[in-house]
Structure 1
Amino acid sequence: MSKKALRSASYGCRQLFLIPFIQGKQLATFLALAI
């Protein structure tokens, strides 16, 4: 496996974990503001 492929794979995995986390944070902020 090339370094570039490995890097893009680790980046993709990080995005998979970060996106739901960020969305959950935004949702929590939105709910806090709505209350």
Structure 2
Amino acid sequence: MPWAGGRAVVLIVIVIIVVKYGIGRLEAHRLQIDA
């Protein structure tokens, strides 16, 4: 199925965005605790 590769790329991009967003929120939360 030719679309399988495209879907894999889209899923990887979504995972990267979610991970970066989650790390950003954790960092902001930690900064609030330290402040």
With the length of structure 2 as denominator, give the TM-score of the two structures: 0.66
Length, aligned pairs only: 35
The answer as to 2:24 corresponding to 1:21 is no
**Structure 2 unaligned spans of 5+:** none
TM-score, scaled relative to structure 1: 0.66
Deviates more, 1:21-30 or 1:1-10: 1-10
In the alignment, what sits opposite 2:9?
A: 9
Offset at residue 7 of structure 1 (A): 4.4
Percent identity for Structure 1 against Structure 2: 14
Aligned-residue RMSD, C-alpha: 1.7
Unaligned runs of 5+ residues in structure 1 are none
